[in-house]
Amino acid sequence: MYTERFSECTCPLAAQFADSFAAGNHDTSYVSLQSYHRAVALINVGDMATNATLDALLYQATDTSGTSAKVISGKSITQLTQAGGDGDALYCIEVQTEELDVDGSFDCIMLRVTVGTAAVEFGAWVFGLEPRYKPTATSGWGEIVT
């Protein structure tokens, strides 16, 4: 609805706060989507060191401990490269809960950002969208100003 506040229908579930990250995997925690119809992962990429690369993809699991974790097919960004000028941009991966392996009881997701070769500045967030029960919890926000 037009009168709904963003904070009433969107809940921050996990974050990698902006920093310079060295080569390697940088994972959010696994978060449950039982209370949401959709989720979105946002990645804010800043400066990329010479020859740096960045990949991001979503995993699914049967619980927030990461049990039976596997990649969600088609839920990854195209590899970013410093040489390609891919820094200083926003990237988004969306998933609907029905795209998870619901028959296998998968209802949790995790965002993995992989930095290759050299450091990359980035921040990443996973938001629950379209809550099954409104309003959403506000505990994920530091402050809400309306």
pTM, two decimal places: 0.94
> What is the number of structural domains in the chain?
1
The residues with which 129 forms a beta bridge, in sequence order, are 10, 38
At 1 the pLDDT is 58
Sign of CA dihedral 100, 101, 103, 106: negative
Position of tokens 């088609």?
74
Report if residue 140 sits inside a domain. no
Q: Do the beta carbons of residue 5 and residue 19 sit within 8 Å? A: no
Report if residue 104 sits inside a domain. yes
Domain residues for the domain of 32 are: 18-131
Report if residue 84 sits inside a domain. yes
pLDDT tens track for 82-91: 999 999 999 9
Report if residue 145 sits inside a domain. no
Give pLDDT tens digits along the chain (146 positions).
Answer: 578 888 888 999 999 999 999 999 999 999 999 999 999 999 999 999 999 999 999 999 999 999 999 999 999 999 999 999 999 999 999 999 999 999 999 999 999 999 999 999 999 999 999 999 887 878 888 899 98
pLDDT tens track for 71-82: 999 999 999 999
Q: What is the SS3 assignment for 142?
A: coil
CATH of the domain at 91: 2.60.120.380
Report if residue 7 sits inside a domain. no
**Integer Cα distance of 117 and 120 in angstroms:** 9
Q: Do the beta carbons of residue 116 and residue 50 sit within 8 Å? A: no
Please state the separation of Cα 3 from the chain's center in Å. Answer: 26
Report if residue 36 sits inside a domain. yes
pLDDT more than 70, % of the chain: 99
Q: Do the beta carbons of residue 38 and residue 100 sit within 8 Å? A: no
Position of tokens 């963003």?
6
